[in-house]
Structure 1
Amino acid sequence: MTEDSSQASANLPAGVKRRRWWQQWTVAALLAVLFGGGNLVALNAYYDEDFRANHLAQQQAVLQQLSIVRAQLESYLNGDLYQVKGLIGLPMANQEIDEQLFSRIASELAGDDLRIKSLQLAPDGIVTHVWPYEQNKGAIGHDLLADPQRRLAASRAIETRQLWVAGPVNLIQGGTAIIGRYPIFVDDPLRGGERFWGFATVLIDWNSVVLRAQQAAGDASAIEIAIRGKDGLGAQGEQLYGKSEVFADSPITMDVVLPGGVWQLAGVPARGWITAAGYKAGPRMFAFALAILLAGGLYALLRLPVRLRRMVEEATDSLRQSENRLVDAIEAIPDAFAIFDASDRLVLCNANFRRVYQRTEPAIQPGTTARRLIEYGIEHGQYGDGDGDQALSELLKTKLELHGKAESHYEEHLSDGRVLRVIQRRMRDGGLAGIRVDISDLKNKERELTDAKRQADASNEAKNTFLATVSHELRTPLNVVIGVLTALQSSDTLEALERERVTVANRSGKHLLALVNEILDLSRVESGKLELQRCAFDFAELIKPVLDFARTGCEQKGLTFVYDEGVGVPVHCRGDSVRVRQVLFNLLSNAIKFTPSGTVQLAVEARTQADGRLALWFCVDDTGPGVAENMKPLLYKAFAQGDASLVRQHGGAGLGLALSKRLALMMGGDIEAADSPLGGARFTLSLVLESGASERDLPASGSQRIATLSPRRVLTVDDSPTNQLVIDCLLDGTGYELHYVDGGEQAIERVQEQDFDLILMDISMPGMDGVEATRRIRQLLGEACPVVVAVTAHSMAGDRERYLATGMDGFITKPIDKQELIRTIEAAGR
């Protein structure tokens, strides 16, 4: 067989050799396909890996830039936004804020920081104090809760009771700013808790924020950044900065944590992300063609691992550079900063973190757990000396709980007296990033403001005590003077000249009483203790005594009085008619006082509002000299007068307009001064009252007099014979059976001997006061106890309620009004 084969080969034509097995066309084709296919697969894998490596490099570059921008923005904004807490002590110290004190504190808080555009206070949400004034006075009067663009952020601040970030917003006074709004709550003695006072606000120039973001981003041509999260709403908020396409182009995102809110920061390469579809299309086609034509896939397969390793090394170097830049950025943060991993071990921190925790510094090493750092700090007195093992254990437990809360802000007190604001958030990998801001200076200022508030409260209490004493001492002799003069004035035994003199003296006494009442009312308004009544009243009953007063005053000076009642003035209203009448008396009294000749005019206009309430305007005009321009700023200041010389042409203590202005504001209105068309001054009182009161809601008319007096047995308990004389004079001729005793002990003995319909009980008496005497009488007589009415010169806010709560059935202040006294006695037997 072998021989035959050899022979056959030898017999083949010359030049023709036997083809080897791989030279068969089918096998060669198969090898070529396999080789070419292998090359194509290898090339495709190479370009895919190359695309991923370059895409990863893009992401790392964007991540590096965004990390720096976020760190800079958080440090930049947190430091400025917390300046607003320096203002919250002002309304706590005194709700009537002194403008100069506000400006001084605001300027000290802002210092030379040009980024702070303004510091403001807004009682009840209405901006009243701004700094600096000239650049921001356009914001005064702005109602934050009524403004749809401000209401959401303002409401969130009230709900969370924390500093809340709003904006950026276009300011009324011009410009654009980020707003940090801190809600202020003050003690409310009437409610027994706290009430919302208003806002302390800081405005940070938005252009400076944008500039800082651009500076932190570095080369503007490398990446495009954008920010969204208006009013601190994070990803749900409107876009604040950058192109809208950034958020639509699969950006790298991270959150910028602000007090009371979050911004979402996004970034993409400035030239856009590379895409797999069009990645190196030309070179790829050329390589494929070359592999197929030259069958050089082996070389490509051998070179592929080398190139891949080089790309991985380059990507690793780029990542290492990014980490170095991130570390440098963290070191540049002016506050203490630290990052813990998902297992709560320290990853890295800056030098400021080590300086803040000096006693814990030996334990601050990468890999140390947060628990160990806290334990080491407690052992070495970082947080103060604990009192016993149990106290140390509780301290450790508390600090671990605070540290474990991801999205939290809390204060940390160190043993050296410093106070840190800790702001931390959970990262996407489960780690925890936190910043510590030293707020020791702010806490010291807060304590100073609290001490100032306590001193102011003590001063107010001393003032109230003094006013109560002065009021009592003045009302006691005034009771005698006005009471006796009132009795003499109604006597039929006096001649006309004597009655006129008594009337003048009585009017002077009542003027002195009115002055005392104005002082007390002003004190009540300033302390927030004056309460308005909301009762139905007849408008005609309101205006009649006002018109009588004006006509009488004008007749005495030879003036003409004109009353003009416009269309739509209601028959019935609901409000505090006594205070409305008091303000009208004051405005007309001033007009008559300062008008030497001519006319005084009162005009009334009314209009029903959309909410059903009634808007009233009372306009008082005169032909006097008017109000000088330099006097207008002093019109509504207490004790301020147009002529303060020793000898003045016109009398007065300068309280009327100050009190009237405050009363008008309390009733939802205002008083404005202007030039009158008559040539003098015009004062306009605007009010908003409820309308539509029914007849049965109205009190009995003041013109209804008691036709017949019923027989009553009245016991007067008063240690002062002159006060007894006053009651005797006022009730002379009424038919009442009057009895008198000099103190509480005698009253107790008398009520056991004789029955009475009414007891007029003085409060301040030696030995046993009126409150104790009333308690013992009620204990002795039980259901048979007569009506007991307190008759006292104590008339400060709360006196009526206090004495009624002790068992009194009624309350009459001195000086005693005759008609009020008779009505009280008549009501005793009903």
Structure 2
Amino acid sequence: MAGRIIDWLRSGGSEPASADAELIARLTAAEAANEAKTRFLASVSHEIRSPLNAIYGYAQLIERGEGKDALAAARVIRRSAEHLAHLVEGLLDIAQVEGGALKLNREAMRFPEFLRQLVDMMQLQAEAKGIALVLDHPPGLPEFVHADPKRLRQVLINLIANAIKFTDHGMVTLKVEYRNQLATFSVIDTGIGIAPEDAARIFAPFERVGGAAGERAGVGLGLAITQALVHIMGGEITLESTPGAGSRFTVRLMLSQPLTPPTDPAPEAGAVTGYIGRERWIVVIDDDTAHLAMVRGLLEPLGFQVRTATDGETGLALAAQVQPDLVLCDVALGEESGWDIAARLRRRHGALLKIVMLSGEAPDSAARRDDGPANNTFVMKPFDFTVLLDVIAGELGLEWLRAGSAVPPPASADAAVPSFPVGIVPDLSRHCSEIERLVRIGHVRAIEAEIDALAALAPETAPLADRMRVTLDSFDLKALAQLAKTAVSHAR
């Protein structure tokens, strides 16, 4: 339509008026943007379908028991899922850059080690193309520099991946120089090169260059994001290229050195196998049954009692029944809003209940409330298991048990019983007897309430209540029953 209007405006045979010229320019830009959008959607479709096909195919092989190597299949599925996640993050990065919402996180990082890890990460991709990937840097690089490792890694991976994709013979080199706190990164390839007419628009979002380069897969986001990130980090990016002879992308960034080298972080602990303390209850609300099964499969082996619901009303009923310590709730629950469910949970259960929104929706999609958000925190899908476990530990104040770590021995119950005169605290025997009964049926929530009531009887009962809470937190119900029984006998 825009093209027909442009032809009509130009058909007068004379130079168009200034208003017509401006209209033609705007229509031409709109038509170009529309064509770019069409190319982008076609490219995104290709980029999405390739990893989806790998995920779908390998999952079917595992399901049918025909996969020769389930571990290798799982790795392919994970890599494909990571590719999809990176594609989505790229689209979100463009939106954040355009909205001015992208923030940097500067920290001290080990510079040579960062570069080695980066090249190791891309080495397999280069080997698959039959080309060499070389790291070239002088021996005098500083051990530590200040940078945003995630964003710098993203910039260099985009450039290296692009170089590998457009290089069929020869090599790709990452050359790094550092002088007076100025770091210069050059990604040099011996690939097909870029024509001069394409060099000016290669950094534009959704653009694909012509010729042989335009025939290769990609959504046209990598270089646009790369340029935006470099500018946000206060640097510059330049391109030198000769068609048929290769390209050289150069990034210059100020990376200062810390005044004092940071201390090494503690070595990574073993895998989480459980947690210290009493049994915790978690309700998960999500309309995706596969997601519910996955979260349950993660948490139940660690000792959590997990109950699941596929809609908000069922989730509310479950929470009323089991009085959970934590609720994990999706935002989009069919026709229901997870934010509304979270608000109702907060009104019913108060501030003690921890609510974590676990969703692919944006964290700011909730309507503003006068009393603040109902949830405690937000975790974006897809998520890493360690991220979710860190959030759960933070919200519930848990200390994890890890592979190879020793479980702390329970304290002696008899040594913890305080002594006080018989009859000085009314209702002591009644509460302790009730705790004994509740221990037999395993009603943890009711036990907590009775301990709280015991502590409120008199100042003299506080040491006993505290000892009971410690024992309950270690989920040593036998020791707790002994505490209650001993206290009753002392009170008589």
User: TM-score scaled to structure 1, two decimals?
Assistant: 0.37
Q: What amino acid sits opposite 1:616 in the alignment?
A: A
Contact 1:536/1:574, CA 8 A, preserved across alignment: yes
User: Relative to structure 1, is the Cα distance of residues 672 and 699 closer, same or farther in structure 2, using a 3 angstrom cutoff?
Assistant: farther
Residue of structure 2 aligned with 1:627, choices 172, 185, 194: 194
Contact 1:588/1:620, CA 8 A, preserved across alignment: yes
Q: What does residue 775 of structure 1 align with?
A: 343
Contact 1:534/1:575, CA 8 A, preserved across alignment: yes
Q: What does residue 378 of structure 2 align with?
A: 811
Q: What does residue 661 of structure 1 align with?
A: 227
Alpha-carbon distance between aligned partners in 1 of 2:368 and 2:53, rounded to the nearest angstrom: 27
1:680 aligns with 2:267: no
Contact 1:487/1:729, CA 8 A, preserved across alignment: no
Deviation at 1:530, TM superposition (A): 2.3
Within a 5 Å distance, the mapping from 1:633-782 to structure 2 comes to 633-643=200-210, 649-675=215-241, 679-692=245-258, 706=271, 708-710=273-275, 713-728=281-296, 734=302, 736-766=304-334, 768-782=336-350
Residue of structure 2 aligned with 1:565, choices 121, 137, 143: 137
Alpha-carbon distance between aligned partners in 2 of 1:810 and 1:497, rounded to the nearest angstrom: 39
Alpha-carbon distance between aligned partners in 2 of 1:498 and 1:484, rounded to the nearest angstrom: 14
Question: Which runs of 5 or more structure 1 residues have no equivalent in the other structure?
Answer: 1-106, 110-451, 457-462, 464-470, 609-613
Contact 2:52/2:80, CA 8 A, preserved across alignment: no
Residue of structure 1 aligned with 2:173, choices 577, 598, 601: 601
Alpha-carbon distance between aligned partners in 1 of 2:126 and 2:272, rounded to the nearest angstrom: 33
Residue of structure 2 aligned with 1:539, choices 111, 135, 144: 111
Q: What amino acid sits opposite 2:178 in the alignment?
A: A
Q: What does residue 525 of structure 1 align with?
A: 97
Secondary structure, counterpart of 1:634 in structure 2: coil
Q: What amino acid sits opposite 1:765 in the alignment?
A: L
Alpha-carbon distance between aligned partners in 1 of 2:153 and 2:336, rounded to the nearest angstrom: 40
Secondary structure, counterpart of 2:187 in structure 1: strand
Deviation at 1:649, TM superposition (A): 4.5
Contact 1:478/1:815, CA 8 A, preserved across alignment: no
Q: Deviations over 1:136-187 (max 9, x none)?
A: xxxxxxxxxxxxxxxxxxxxxxxxxxxxxxxxxxxxxxxxxxxxxxxxxxxx
Secondary structure, counterpart of 1:529 in structure 2: coil
Q: Deviations over 1:496-541 (max 9, x none)?
A: 5454445444433432332222122112212323233334444366
Q: What does residue 581 of structure 1 align with?
A: 153
Deviation at 1:757, TM superposition (A): 4.2
User: Relative to structure 1, is the Cα distance of residues 488 and 640 closer, same or farther in structure 2, using a 3 angstrom cutoff?
Assistant: same
Within a 5 Å distance, the mapping from 1:391-402 to structure 2 comes to none
Within a 5 Å distance, the mapping from 1:192-341 to structure 2 comes to none
Q: What amino acid sits opposite 1:549 in the alignment?
A: M
Within a 5 Å distance, the mapping from 1:330-409 to structure 2 comes to none
Q: Deviations over 1:83-114 (max 9, x none)?
A: xxxxxxxxxxxxxxxxxxxxxxxx989xxxxx
1:828 aligns with 2:395: yes
Deviation at 1:669, TM superposition (A): 0.5
User: Relative to structure 1, is the Cα distance of residues 769 and 801 closer, same or farther in structure 2, using a 3 angstrom cutoff?
Assistant: closer
Contact 2:193/2:246, CA 8 A, preserved across alignment: yes
Alpha-carbon distance between aligned partners in 2 of 1:579 and 1:800, rounded to the nearest angstrom: 28
Q: What amino acid sits opposite 2:100 in the alignment?
A: G
Contact 1:521/1:659, CA 8 A, preserved across alignment: yes
- Single out whichever of 536-545 and 745-754 deviates more from structure 2: 536-545
Higher strand content, 1 or 2: 1
Contact 1:480/1:815, CA 8 A, preserved across alignment: no
Secondary structure, counterpart of 2:216 in structure 1: coil
Deviation at 1:603, TM superposition (A): 2.1
Which structure carries more relative contact order (alpha carbon 8 Å, separation 6+)? 2
Q: Deviations over 1:575-613 (max 9, x none)?
A: 3221111111101110111111222211222223xxxxx
Contact 1:480/1:726, CA 8 A, preserved across alignment: no
Contact 1:483/1:727, CA 8 A, preserved across alignment: no
Alpha-carbon distance between aligned partners in 2 of 1:626 and 1:578, rounded to the nearest angstrom: 28
Contact 1:792/1:812, CA 8 A, preserved across alignment: yes
Q: What does residue 556 of structure 1 align with?
A: 128
Q: What does residue 409 of structure 2 align with?
A: none
Q: What does residue 418 of structure 2 align with?
A: none
Contact 1:479/1:815, CA 8 A, preserved across alignment: no
User: Relative to structure 1, is the Cα distance of residues 557 and 827 closer, same or farther in structure 2, using a 3 angstrom cutoff?
Assistant: farther
Contact 1:536/1:698, CA 8 A, preserved across alignment: no
Alpha-carbon distance between aligned partners in 2 of 1:485 and 1:713, rounded to the nearest angstrom: 36
Q: Deviations over 1:312-347 (max 9, x none)?
A: xxxxxxxxxxxxxxxxxxxxxxxxxxxxxxxxxxxx
Contact 1:479/1:726, CA 8 A, preserved across alignment: no
Contact 2:174/2:188, CA 8 A, preserved across alignment: yes
Aligned residues between the structures: 356
User: Relative to structure 1, is the Cα distance of residues 575 and 800 closer, same or farther in structure 2, using a 3 angstrom cutoff?
Assistant: farther
User: Relative to structure 1, is the Cα distance of residues 795 and 696 closer, same or farther in structure 2, using a 3 angstrom cutoff?
Assistant: farther
Deviation at 1:817, TM superposition (A): 2.5
Q: What amino acid sits opposite 2:383 in the alignment?
A: I
Q: What amino acid sits opposite 1:546 in the alignment?
A: L
Secondary structure, counterpart of 1:811 in structure 2: strand
Contact 1:482/1:509, CA 8 A, preserved across alignment: no
Contact 1:480/1:723, CA 8 A, preserved across alignment: no
Deviation at 1:616, TM superposition (A): 1.5
Deviation at 1:734, TM superposition (A): 5.0
Q: Deviations over 1:238-296 (max 9, x none)?
A: xxxxxxxxxxxxxxxxxxxxxxxxxxxxxxxxxxxxxxxxxxxxxxxxxxxxxxxxxxx
Q: What does residue 473 of structure 2 align with?
A: none
Q: Deviations over 1:640-659 (max 9, x none)?
A: 222478x9642101111011
User: Relative to structure 1, is the Cα distance of residues 503 and 518 closer, same or farther in structure 2, using a 3 angstrom cutoff?
Assistant: same
Alpha-carbon distance between aligned partners in 2 of 1:669 and 1:729, rounded to the nearest angstrom: 45
Contact 2:54/2:80, CA 8 A, preserved across alignment: no
Residue of structure 1 aligned with 2:183, choices 603, 616, 626: 616
Secondary structure, counterpart of 2:101 in structure 1: coil
Within a 5 Å distance, the mapping from 1:11-26 to structure 2 comes to none
Alpha-carbon distance between aligned partners in 1 of 2:53 and 2:331, rounded to the nearest angstrom: 20
Alpha-carbon distance between aligned partners in 1 of 2:366 and 2:231, rounded to the nearest angstrom: 25
Secondary structure, counterpart of 1:621 in structure 2: strand
Deviation at 1:807, TM superposition (A): 3.6
Q: What amino acid sits opposite 1:576 in the alignment?
A: D
Contact 1:763/1:771, CA 8 A, preserved across alignment: yes
Contact 1:622/1:680, CA 8 A, preserved across alignment: yes
Alpha-carbon distance between aligned partners in 2 of 1:748 and 1:527, rounded to the nearest angstrom: 37
Contact 1:485/1:503, CA 8 A, preserved across alignment: no
User: Relative to structure 1, is the Cα distance of residues 699 and 764 closer, same or farther in structure 2, using a 3 angstrom cutoff?
Assistant: farther
Alpha-carbon distance between aligned partners in 2 of 1:578 and 1:800, rounded to the nearest angstrom: 28
Contact 1:538/1:698, CA 8 A, preserved across alignment: no
Within a 5 Å distance, the mapping from 1:135-146 to structure 2 comes to none
Secondary structure, counterpart of 2:240 in structure 1: strand
Secondary structure, counterpart of 2:156 in structure 1: helix
Deviation at 1:549, TM superposition (A): 2.0
Q: What amino acid sits opposite 1:829 in the alignment?
A: L
Deviation at 1:637, TM superposition (A): 1.3
Secondary structure, counterpart of 1:691 in structure 2: coil
Alpha-carbon distance between aligned partners in 2 of 1:484 and 1:698, rounded to the nearest angstrom: 42
